[in-house]
Amino acid sequence: MFDSGFGGLTVARALIDLMPNEDLVYVGDTGRYPYGPRDLSEVREFALEITNHLVRTHDVKVVVIACNTASAAALDELQQITPVPVIGVIEPGAAALLDATRNGRVGVIGTVGTIGSGAYQRAVASHGREIELSCAACPGFVEFVERGETDSDQVHVLAQRLLAPLVDADIDSLLLGCTHYPFLARTISDVMGRDVVLVDSADATAFRVRQLLIDAGTTQSGSSAGAHRFESSGDVEAFRGLGRQLLGPELDEVTALSWPE
């Protein structure tokens, strides 16, 4: 699995908890984060490069794009050209959002790239339900998480400004459509109010991966714990320090990656 940085660790946590026997390779592309403000064609190139690396170097049986921006930019293409199944986070997240809503008024927040791509608008529409969807890009949120600053006054002030249209839209459920955002859940919930259910794609994505492995008959049998490997294209010590705080003890060693390989 991969993300631009620490965000995908929210999905890694769900995968490890649901499938503790499976081996996991996580690539955090911190040398090139953030993906959100970049052109989608550039993010697509990064996603192809990392997926190639996971398949060729690690011989993975499934690739999880644990990043909404990269899912929006590259899921369709990767599913066509990759010799193993590729799963993104957008469709599982949209399905979880629609399960959560009672009044049919929902919100999605994400990076500029994700929201601008229209991927969530399409994913929600594909369910054919009568839904009022409000979307907002939240530039700056990812940078706060990457700095390990998840509940400062500054991030609170930014959240108040960026989320104001969603507060006004009277939604009952809000999808955190960027895998970094669950780390800001307390701040986001303070701003949105306790009545708004926050939904993220981590559990829904982990369940999809498990179902896919069950259907393919490729789940890891036995009771030994899976091996968890972490790679970063940025500062590996910084990745280890903050990553361990965000994920937990499974994040032990981090290997350096550089592009092109």
Residues 6+ apart with CB under 8 A from 8: 1, 2, 26, 28, 64, 66, 67, 179
Does 33 bind ligand DGL (CB under 6 A)? Our answer is yes
Does 208 bind ligand DGL (CB under 6 A)? Our answer is no
Whether 67 sits among the annotated catalytic residues: the reply is: yes
Does 35 bind ligand DGL (CB under 6 A)? Our answer is yes
Is residue 246 within 8 A of residue 183, CB to CB? The reply is yes
CA distance linking residue 149 with residue 72, whole number of Å: 26
| Contact string 69-108 vs ligand DGL (x = CB under 6 A) | x---------------------------------------
Q: Give Cα 209 distance to the centre of its chain.
A: 14
Does 114 bind ligand DGL (CB under 6 A)? Our answer is yes
Size of the site for ligand DGL (CB under 6 A): 16
For 24, 27, 52, 152, 200, the CA distances from 1, given in Å and listed in that order, are 8, 6, 12, 29, 17
Using the rule CB under 6 A, which residue among 67, 97, 137, 246 binds ligand DGL? 67
| Contact string 133-162 vs ligand DGL (x = CB under 6 A) | ---------x--------------------
Does 3 bind ligand DGL (CB under 6 A)? Our answer is yes
Does 36 bind ligand DGL (CB under 6 A)? Our answer is yes
Does 201 bind ligand DGL (CB under 6 A)? Our answer is no
Min. distance of Cβ 154 from ligand DGL in angstroms? 18
Residue of 33, 25, 96, 97 lying closest to 64 (CA atoms): 25
Question: Which of 47, 67, 106, 242 is an active site residue?
Answer: 67
User: Exposure string (b/e) for 201-234, b if CB count within 10 Å is 16 or more?
Assistant: bbbbbbebbeebbeeeeeeeeeeeeeebbbbbbb
DSSP code string of 149-181: -SS-HHHHHHHHHHHHHHHHTT-SEEEE-STTG
Is residue 16 within 8 A of residue 250, CB to CB? The reply is yes
Which of 157-165, 176-184, 203-211, 212-220 is the region at the interface with ligand DGL (rule: CB under 6 A)?
176-184
3-class SS of residue 137: strand
Min. distance of Cβ 207 from ligand DGL in angstroms? 18
Q: Which is nearer to ligand DGL, 104 or 116 (CB)?
A: 116
Whether 138 sits among the annotated catalytic residues: the reply is: no
Using the rule CB under 6 A, which residue among 7, 85, 93, 107 binds ligand DGL? 7
Does 178 bind ligand DGL (CB under 6 A)? Our answer is yes
Q: Which is nearer to ligand DGL, 101 or 120 (CB)?
A: 120
User: Exposure string (b/e) for 68-82, b if CB count within 10 Å is 16 or more?
Assistant: bbbbbbbbeebeeeb
Min. distance of Cβ 6 from ligand DGL in angstroms? 8
**Any idea which residues carry the catalytic annotation?**
67, 178
